[in-house]
């Protein structure tokens, strides 16, 4: 496994990925000393939390505990002192996570439950350890993405199940976040203004954005844009429709506007994305 001291997570990556880092191999503070914002998902499994156990996520302060898992969404920022910590940090490309959750349909992975700090029991911990061994073996050898994705899907299935089965696990999450995300999934093509979602929830634009930002690290508009871009990529990748057809079906009045929007959010034209 590559040493974490040689890795800066904010460096651009080529293609899709799932990567694994050991917290105890971090030999300096570059990953966590200052607030960092990343455009991919992270899952941190703190198996041992010694030393300074404070952990800051989007400027909210928490205390880390042994055998604790935290799912971190793109755009969120965090900070901690890695000294004395043991465990693993998994980084997951957005589209990989999107595919995984198409199978799992998890409120937890969708961000409906905000950031939950999960503590599996002994039996589940042993199960996660076995799955993690498969992930590490594959990552350190052939590192084949389809296998990594399959193992990670099983890993995340167990975590998602934990959020549904443990009494009171949702007590620290705002139910309005779940309602908002479900509305976005249902209406993101036709309705792209915050006002629509605020009215549906009986809230003001300011309040719904505050709830959304606190729960997921992003505004309503950012969620709408990201969901739309993912749908664009999905349709382009499937290749069953022309770019013109996709643009009209996703609510763009002109294909040129579709292209500008896509390039603004991906730094590629739809044609370039399709070729790559």
In DSSP notation, 64-75 reads --SSEEEEE-TT
Which residue in the block uniquely carries the two structure tokens 């629509």? Answer: 196
Indicate whether 10 and 137 sit together in one domain: yes
The CATH number covering residue 18 comes to 2.60.120.280
Q: What is the pTM of this model?
A: 0.66
Q: Do 232 and 96 share a domain, yes or no?
A: no
Residue 145 lies inside a defined structural domain of this protein = yes
Min mean pLDDT across 129-133, 151-155, 179-183 is at 179-183
Residues 54 and 152 in one domain: yes
Residue 182 CA to residue 184 CA, distance in Å, equals 5
* Residue indicated by tokens 């036709």: 190
Residue 161 has pLDDT above 60, yes or no: yes
Boundary (domain end) residue, out of 165, 189, 217 = 165
pLDDT for res 227: 87
Q: Residue 225 is part of which domain span?
A: 175-275
Are residues 21 and 131 part of one domain?
yes
From 165, 200, 215, the end of a domain falls on: 165
121 and 95 in a single domain? The answer is yes
Regarding whether 118 and 98 lie in a shared domain, the answer is: yes
CATH classification at residue 181: 1.10.10.60
170 domain residue, yes or no: no
Pairwise CA distance, residues 80 & 46, whole Å: 12
**Residue 18: inside a domain:** yes
Q: How confident is the model at residue 176 (pLDDT cuts 50, 70, 90)?
A: confident
Nearest to 250 by CA among 264, 271, 230: 230
- Which parts of the chain are beta strand (E)? 18-22, 36-37, 41-49, 54-57, 60-63, 68-72, 77-80, 85-92, 117-118
Structure confidence at residue 167 (pLDDT): 47
| Domain boundary, last residue among 136, 165, 194 | 165
């Amino acid at each position: 496994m590559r040493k974490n001291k040689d890795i800066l997570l904010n460096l651009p990556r080529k293609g899709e990925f799932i990567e694994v880092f050991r917290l105890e191999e971090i030999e300096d503070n570059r990953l966590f000393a200052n607030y960092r914002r990343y455009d991919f998902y992270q899952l941190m499994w703190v198996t041992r939390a010694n030393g300074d156990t404070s952990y800051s996520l989007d400027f909210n302060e928490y205390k880390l505990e042994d055998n604790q898992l935290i799912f971190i969404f793109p755009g969120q920022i965090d900070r901690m002192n890695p000294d004395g910590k043991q465990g693993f940090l998994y980084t997951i490309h957005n589209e990989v996570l999107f595919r995984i959750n198409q199978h799992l349909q998890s409120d937890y992975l969708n961000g409906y439950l905000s950031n939950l700090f999960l503590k599996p029991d002994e039996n589940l911990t042993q199960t996660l350890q076995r799955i993690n061994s498969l992930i590490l073996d594959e990552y350190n050898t052939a590192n084949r993405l389809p296998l990594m994705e399959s193992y990670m899907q099983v890993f995340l299935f167990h975590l998602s199940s934990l959020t549904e089965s443990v009494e009171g696990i949702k007590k620290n999450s705002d139910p309005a976040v779940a309602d908002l995300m479900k509305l976005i999934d249902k209406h993101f093509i036709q309705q792209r203004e915050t006002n629509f979602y605020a009215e549906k929830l009986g809230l003001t634009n300011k309040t719904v954005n505050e709830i959304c930002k606190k729960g997921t690290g992003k505004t309503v508009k950012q969620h709408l844009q990201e969901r739309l871009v993912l749908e664009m990529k999905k349709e382009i990748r499937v290749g069953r429709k022309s770019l013109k057809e996709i643009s009209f079906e996703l609510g763009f009045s002109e294909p040129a506007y579709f292209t500008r929007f896509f390039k603004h959010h991906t730094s590629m034209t739809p044609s370039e994305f399709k070729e790559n």
